[in-house]
Amino acid sequence: MKDNGPFLQVSNLSKRFGGVQAVDSVSFELRQGEMLGIIGPNGSGKTTLINLITGFYKPNAGKVLYQGKDITGLMPYKIADLGIVRTFQMVRPFYQLPAFKNLIIPLYSPRVKRLAGGKYGDRDAIAIDLLEEVGFERESLVPYKITSALPHGYLKKMELARSIAMRPELVILDELFSGLSMAELASMLPIIEKMISEGITIIMVEHRLKELFRIANRVIVLNHGTKIAEDIPKDVMKSEEVKKAYLGTEVT
Partner 1 sequence: MKPAIGMKYRKERIDRGIKARTEDIFALLSFREMLYLLAPRAILLLAVFITPLFLGMYGKKVLINTAVFALLAMSWDFLISVGMVSLGQALFFGVGAYIAGILNDSLKWSPLFTIPIATLGGGAICSILLAPVLRLRGVYFAMVTLAMPLMLMRIIEATKIFGGTEGLHGLAPLPGVWLELYLSLGMVIAVLFFLRRLINTDYGLVLSGIRDNDRSVLSSGINIYWYKMQAVFVASAIGAFAGAFMTHAYMFVGMPAFELDYSILPIAAGVVGGTGTFAGSMLGAFILVTLSEILRGVGGVRIVFYSVFLVIFIVVLPEGIFHYLQRKYHQFERWVKVEE
Partner 2 sequence: MFQGMLIYGLINSVILALVTLGFNLTFGISGVANFGYGGLYILAGYTIWILFNLLKIPYLVAIVLSILFTAFIGGLMYRFILLRLRGLTNLEVIASLAVGVIILEMFRVAGFIGFEYTLPGFISGSVPIGETLVDAQRLFIVGIGMVLALFLWIFTRYTKTGLAFRGIAQEERTALVLGINSDKMATLSVAFGSGLAAIAAAVILPLGIIAGEGGYTVLLNAVAVCIVGGLGSPGGAVVASFIIGYAQTFTATYLGSHWTMIVSLLAIILILVIKPSGLYGKQKEIEEKV
Binding site for partner 1 (CB under 8 A): 54, 56, 75-78, 80-81, 85-86, 88, 92-94, 97, 101, 104-106, 108-111, 123, 162, 166
Greatest CA separation found in the chain? Answer: 54
The CA distance from 84 to 79, in Å, is 6
**Member of 33, 43, 76, 153 binding partner 2 (CB under 8 A):** 76
- Long-range contacts formed by 112-121: CB under 8 A, 24+ apart: 112/165, 112/166, 112/167, 115/167
> How many CA atoms does the CB half-sphere of 142 hold within 13 Å?
18
Q: Whole-number minimum distance, CB 96 to partner 1, in Å? A: 10
The CA distance from 216 to 200, in Å, is 13
Task: Dihedral sign for Cα 186, 189, 191, 197, please.
Answer: negative
> 18 touches which of partner 1, partner 2, none (CB within 5 to 8 A by kind)?
partner 2
**Per rule CB under 8 A, count of chain residues that contact partner 2:** 6
Write each residue from 17 to 46 as x if it is in contact with partner 2 (CB under 8 A), else as -, in one continuous string.
Answer: xx----------------------------
77 near partner 2, rule: CB under 8 A: no
> 106 touches which of partner 1, partner 2, none (CB within 5 to 8 A by kind)?
partner 1
Query: Where do contacts with partner 2 occur on this chain (CB under 8 A)?
Result: 17-18, 51, 56-57, 76
